[in-house]
Amino acid sequence: MTSQSPWHVDGHLAELRATDLRAAVDLRNPAAGVRVGQFAGDAARQAALLQIPIAGGAARGPDSIEFFVRGGDLVATYGELPATPVRAEIYWRFIAAQAARAQSAGEAGQTASELILSVQTSLLDSDPSLAVGSTLPAMEIWRLGDAESGRFAECRPVGQREMVFAPKSGPACFLFRSAAPLSYVEMVHPADFRHSTLHAIDSAAGIWQLQHRLFEQRLEKGVILRSRLRGMFVARDADMAIAASEYRRFGSSEPPLTA
């Protein structure tokens, strides 16, 4: 780990200490997600973002998890288990706001967390599918309907029914509004979007879970599958415009270097 990295690892707990963001990841339990302490001074302690349902904790021996920090990347590799014969590599990539980019684009710079997830197997055939997502409070939830126009549609689940979103009805770019002056945006790269599901964890408290189904194709030995997601907190007063702009930028970005 370099002194310039925003990530600080103590045992299996990795803390992100950036200028405007405080968060933590338990490397033994990626299913708990990124636990956000605060962003830009506002508490977000009920948010568990980018949760990855990979077995951890007591299911793993001390040698089945390898991790390191390089710059803004926190990287962890999870070896195959008998019950889940898929090797997973996770990059939690911190992307600091870039003042020069923001000035040229005429908008506020955005601090983001990008999740880059790769899977492979030693078997001739396996099922690598995962439902990656976030759990957080919200009073309103919106989905980007058209990336070019920036048009959003409000998500209104009826009763306890889930809402399922597919590529034919729009991108995987979702906006969560709460009582705070910040909104949370989560998006899946268009090349990786299969379908997403939204449902209420606690309808009375307004706690929601958004999940994205990844790696639905079968996985063969020697093949590596990779998916990308991005999450960010943005100013409420311009959240839709920022979300649409960031989604277009994310969708047109080159595949990341992870070697």
**In sequence order, what E strands does 155-224 have?**
163-165, 173-177, 182-188, 195-202, 207-214
Residue type, 135: T
CA distance 224 to 86: 10
CA distance 144 to 135: 19
The predicted model scores a pTM of 0.89
Instruction: Classify residue 125 by burial, with Cβ atoms within 10 Å: 0-12, 13-18, 19+.
Output: exposed
3-class secondary-structure state, position 83: coil
| Segment 27-53 mean pLDDT | 83
**In sequence order, what E strands does 71-194 have?**
73-78, 87-95, 112-120, 130-137, 140-146, 151-154, 163-165, 173-177, 182-188
Tens of pLDDT, residues 205-259: 889 999 999 998 888 888 899 999 999 988 899 999 999 999 999 999 887 766 5
Domains of the chain with bracketed CATH? 7-251 (2.70.98.10)
User: Torsions phi, psi of 240, nearest 5?
Assistant: -70, -45
CA distance 18 to 93: 12
CA distance 8 to 134: 23
Q: Give the residue, 103 or 5, on which the prediction is more confident.
A: 5
pLDDT band at residue 112 using 50, 70 and 90 as cut-offs: confident
